[in-house]
Amino acid sequence: MIEPLTITFTLTYVGTLGVAMAMFLGQIIAFTAMLVLAGTLVLLTHGARLIMRRRPGP
């Protein structure tokens, strides 16, 4: 029969790894979202500069 202490240790270890994996995936998602947001803002400001630039007069 398996000892209760062994089961407790195993569940605690697996739970700790699960939380660590969730935190790691959360950081990857946040970093990716930040890069996408920064790239979108760069493209929008570049487009706004092209639209707002002065055109030569007649």
Domain range annotation of the chain:
23-47
The predicted structure's pLDDT at residue 23: 98
The predicted structure's pLDDT at residue 58: 64
The predicted structure's pLDDT at residue 7: 86
pTM of the predicted protein model: 0.69
Tokens of 55: 């055109």
What does the pLDDT look like over 4-47, one tens digit per residue?
Answer: 888 888 889 999 999 999 999 999 999 999 999 999 999 999 99
Tokens of 32: 């990716």
The predicted structure's pLDDT at residue 53: 84
DSSP element (H, E) containing 29: helix 4-52
